[in-house]
Amino acid sequence: MLTDTQARTTNHEARVMPTRLERYERAYRALAAELAELGFISQGSVVVRYTTCGKAGCRCQGDPPRRHGPYYQWSRAVAGKTVSRRLSEGEAKLYRGWIANRRRLEEIVAEMEQISAAAGELLLRPVSSPKAPRAAKR
């Protein structure tokens, strides 16, 4: 039979645990909904390049030099090697968005992992059993 203190503790734990677990579930579902709204994703980066050529008398060789460009370049690693491709300004804008989506995807997954770990700790926490009174020291 439970004492009043044990019953209150058990009731308190029963109220607190589902509340925290429900909070974790709500946060997890919100992240899953955000995940569903992400568009295309892409790895890599987009850079803007200005170049010089080898022609004598070209404006890029002048003082001050006025380089050619802008040229947009998308680079990523494929099988351990860097692969690059030139893009138009519009394509560069698309890829920047897709790269941002991938970074957000990674953030969301990391948050989901943290929430899952916290929920797991909550669910796997050992249930406290009533302790026997200690014997008095002599």
Task: Report DSSP letters for 60-111, one per residue.
Answer: GGSSS---EEEEEEEEEEETTEEEEEEE-HHHHHHHHHHHHHHHHHHHHHHH
pLDDT score for 88: 97
Chain-centre distance for alpha carbon 88: 29
pLDDT at residue 7 in the model: 47
> In the prediction, which pLDDT does 122 show?
87
Burial class, 124, CB count within 10 angstroms (exposed 0-12 / middle 13-18 / buried 19+): exposed
CA pseudo-torsion sign 17, 18, 23, 25: positive
Q: What is the pLDDT of residues 106-128, one digit of tens each?
A: 999 999 999 999 999 988 887 66
Please report the pLDDT score of residue 10 as a whole number: 52
How far apart CA 66 and CA 54 sit, in angstroms, is: 13
Site of tokens 């941002």: 100
Summarised one tens digit per residue, pLDDT across range 14-64 is 555 558 899 999 999 999 999 999 999 999 999 999 999 989 889 998 888
Q: What is the pLDDT of residues 2-19, one digit of tens each?
A: 455 454 455 555 555 558
Please indicate whether residue 77 or residue 8 has the higher confidence score (pLDDT).
77
